[in-house]
Amino acid sequence: TQLLEQSPQFLSIQEGENLTVYCNSSSVFSSLQWYRQEPGEGPVLLVTVVTGGEVKKLKRLTFQFGDARKDSSLHITAAQPGDTGLYLCAGEDSIMKTSYDKVIFGPGTSLSVIP
Amino acid sequence: ETGVTQSPTHLIKTRGQQVTLRCSSQSGHNTVSWYQQALGQGPQFIFQYYREEENGRGNFPPRFSGLQFPNYSSELNVNALELDDSALYLCASSSPGARETQYFGPGTRLLVL
């Protein structure tokens, strides 16, 4: 059962445009992470959000964790070709957590920024 | 500081065969997690090793097994390969006190024919 949903699945935009991608769940997460994965590479951690309503900025990327800690968004301002990649959200499931940290990934949003 | 490395980078096997994938964790990291990433999907948790012991397991059958060695490197073994096992296999290491921060290797691309 997929616990994390991401939208849109695919996104193709022109350089300089703004965009927002979403990560949603019916479950509450104790923390949520965003990764970017490029072809042939493993995911690279961009940010971890922990507190409901938290907003974090990383240069042109703005991450927000929902107040109820069930959803998150990633906003990119003035997208550049180097932003191209698969954006994955991953949550630590606070309900299903057992003796280890089980990180659940969403299916990802594939972003293509055209020069 | 050496990052997470995996070998081989690519592998082709046939149904029924067995495969061993290897991972060297980042220096100072004693926890290794393995993930399976099918095409067009996010990574799915297979299992985690902490100090040479399995520390948790996802929804994968027993033919997926692993090991962690004293130097914290790790192996993923898959027996009786099936076509659906074709995927990118990722390992990620993390350090004590920073559980949320996992560093991923580049993965091993496995194709089962």
pLDDT tens for B89-105 read 999 998 765 556 789 99
Q: What region, left, alpha or beta, does residue B56 occupy, with left being phi > 0 and alpha being psi -120 to 50 degrees?
A: left
Taking the CA of residue B104 and the nearest CA in chain A, the distance in Å comes to 5
- At A89, which helix (H) or strand (E)? strand A85-93
Rounded CA separation B42/B12 (Å): 22
pLDDT in tens, B43-85: 999 999 988 999 888 889 999 999 999 988 999 999 999 999 9
Residues of chain A contacting B, Cβ within 8 Å: 4, 31, 33, 40-45, 48, 88, 90, 92, 98-108
C-alpha distance from A90 to closest chain B C-alpha (Å): 9
Region A11-38: mean pLDDT is 93
